[in-house]
Amino acid sequence: MSAGWIDFRAVKAGVGMEALLAAYGIKPGRRVGVELRGLCPLPQHHSKQSRESFLVHTRKNVWVCHSQSCVAARGGQAGGNVLDFVAAMERCSILEAAHKVWAIGEGTGFEKNEGGAVAENWNGYAEKQNAPLRFGLRPVDCRHRYLSQRGIHRSTAEYFQVGFYARAGLLQGRIVIPLHDGQGRLVGYAGRAIHGDAPRYKFPVGLRKSLLLFNLHRVRSGGSRQAILVEGFFDCFHLHQAGFPQTLALMGSSASAVQQELLRRHFEELVVMLDGDETGRSASQRIVRQLGSVMALRLAEVPAGQQPDQLTPAEVRRVLGNAQTVTRQVLENR
């Protein structure tokens, strides 16, 4: 894709609805065969009765909301493809949605290939880095009650500079989380909704999450050659509090080609500790297949239906202590 033209077919084929939902921090209520069903995440949806009106067909890569009020609020459009979903989420044009989808899926097209695919994507990494921000959001309230309700200590919030942002702008009224590249340069903020607003997380337009691993610059500066990989920000915060500062977050449930290469280049051993739901289990297996031949891996299984940020420090230590080494024989059987 260039600034002058865009291949809509390639964009739609490059990012699946399930990956798109993960990028927005949206988890489907349940899986029925090739369908995902749950509460509609679109900002136009206000029905209190429709608890499973939102359906995603993962094979066809399309979605639909059967709530009449939601459909009416979107001008009669019942559903569509990934571009239609982002256009509805962001209240933007299809062209703008295509650019956002491309940014979300940056690098994923290389993951389907073997051999030199990662290297091919890595070679263009320097030209595709996120531009450093020339400003920071101030003031940020690290003592906001939402953080304490999520079990985040004030010292942890201050360490990560996470807090409530009240001033006008894209992230007003959200918990803001600073995002840095591997060199420690601030490149953006994630904004976490605190009142159930959609989307759950907001990211700056054009930010390429696929080029980042959350907390990488801190882990690198600590000199650890082992890293623990989790899905989300709050997973990372909780493991940090439990005594594991070498924790990184994917900001989703899939590892892009660049993220894979960052892990391989900076660490000798990786402990994969994704969510204990079906999506997390599948993502863990995929990462094991992607990285098992290039670095030492251990798989830490979170209890079914739980996430790392829901575990007590003692439970975190127990899960990590029981992490299983991924052997060559295990890889061959996957």
CB atoms within 10 A of CB 188: 23
DSSP element (H, E) containing 324 = strand 324-325
Q: Report d(CA 304, CA 234) in Å as an integer.
A: 18
Rounded CA separation 274/210 (Å): 17
> DSSP E strands: which ranges in 62-127?
62-65, 79-80
How do residues 264-278 score in pLDDT, each as one tens digit?
A: 999 999 999 999 999
Say which residue, 241 or 124, is predicted with more confidence: 241
Q: Which residues contact 188 (CB under 8 A, 6 or more apart)?
A: 130, 133, 179, 203, 204, 207
Residue among 182, 272, 185 nearest 227 (CA): 272
Q: Which residue has the tokens 């994630």?
A: 190
Per the CB < 8 A criterion, the answer to whether 164 and 144 are in contact is yes
pTM of the predicted structure, to 2 decimals:
0.67
Give which of 159, 196, 156 is closest to 174, Cα–Cα.
Answer: 196
Report percent pLDDT > 90 for the chain: 56
| Radius of gyration of the CA atoms of the chain, in A | 19
Q: Which of 92-96, 119-123, 193-197, 256-260 has the lowest mean pLDDT?
A: 119-123
Considering only residues 214 and 102, tell me which one the structure prediction assigns the higher pLDDT.
Answer: 214
pLDDT above 70: residue 150 = yes
| pLDDT at res. 63 | 94
Domains (range + CATH), the chain: 8-105 (3.90.580.10), 145-205 (3.90.980.10), 216-332 (3.40.1360.10)
As a whole number of angstroms, the distance between CA 250 and CA 114 comes to 21
